[in-house]
Structure 1
Amino acid sequence: MTNVLPITETISLHVPFRLVKRGGRKEIQLPEGTPPTPRADGALLKALARAFRWKRLLESGEFTTIAELAERESIAPSYMTRVLRLTLLAPDIVEAILDGKHPPKMTLAWLLGPFPVDWKQQGHHFG
């Protein structure tokens, strides 16, 4: 049996922040000098999710061609092909994107451009 002592003091914690409205939503704004918390890029996350879903649909045989899948998704086949290339990103890069820890220059538009398929070369290209 453990002896438990009663708490005789109260501890107060002061956390400076402000609530601000942005686009009809309330956000917490931390004081200046506070390191920013990483934020995932919504467009990039959506594109990654779509790319892996489309890849799964193609690999399962549910759709036999990119053109067929693109037609069902009402997307241009050329755009779908560029988004599908995101499935070739190195796992550490995908993880950084999911965690919001990717470099600011790594936007969806930038990633839809050409990049090396080799994972080691991607580190140099994106680093």
Structure 2
Amino acid sequence: MNDRLETFVPLVFRRRGVQRLAVDGRSAHDTTLIEGLARAFYWQHLLDTGVMRSGSAIARAEKLHQSVVNELLRLTLLAPDIIELWMAGRQPRRLTLMWFQRNRLTPDWQAQRNLMASFEEDV
């Protein structure tokens, strides 16, 4: 008996500058941003479970510079409703993974919401 399920999601991948977008007709997912978010939560899980001792250990294992790991780990501080919007493809168009790598993220969720709103207003 085959207990495997398969789901088909009709997406088209497009480039917007250097960004990759997955477009399903209603929304556009910045796949680079989503992949960075997924890696951050995976790495945080490795730290939480004790599989890895530090961001530096993850960086060595992944053959990345430790600053890349630490910058992406900050994404785990995002408010859950912001992450939900991103997963629905409704992230601000000008907000990129590189922005998070170059700017500090406050752990205050309301300040994060205000920041996201400011990206939408500047369009």
- Structure-1-length-normalised TM-score: 0.69
The question of 1:117 aligning with 2:107 is answered yes
Identical-residue share of aligned pairs (%): 36
Offset at 1:107?
A: 1.1
CA distance in 2, matches of 1:109, 1:85: 13
Matched, 1:46 2:29: no
Counterparts of 1:124 and 1:65, CA distance in 2: 31
Contact 1:115–1:122 (CA under 8 A) maintained in structure 2: yes
Contact 1:116 1:125 in 2 (8 A): no
TM-score scaled to structure 2, two decimals? 0.71
CA RMSD of aligned residues (A): 1.6
Q: Spell out the pairing of 1:1-127 with structure 2 (5 A cutoff).
A: 37-112=26-101, 113-127=103-117
- CA deviations on 1:45-82 (whole Å, 9 max, x unpaired) are 10011000000001100111111111001111111000
Secondary structure at 1:84 match in 2: helix
Aligned partners of 2:97 and 2:53: how far apart in 1?
Answer: 26
- Alignment-derived partner of residue 7 in structure 1: none
Moved over 3 A (4+): none
Q: For structure 1, which runs of at least 5 residues remain unmatched after alignment? A: 1-21, 24-35
Bigger-Rg structure (1/2): 1
Bigger fraction of residues in helix: 2
* Structure 2 runs not aligned, ≥5 long: 1-13, 16-24, 118-123
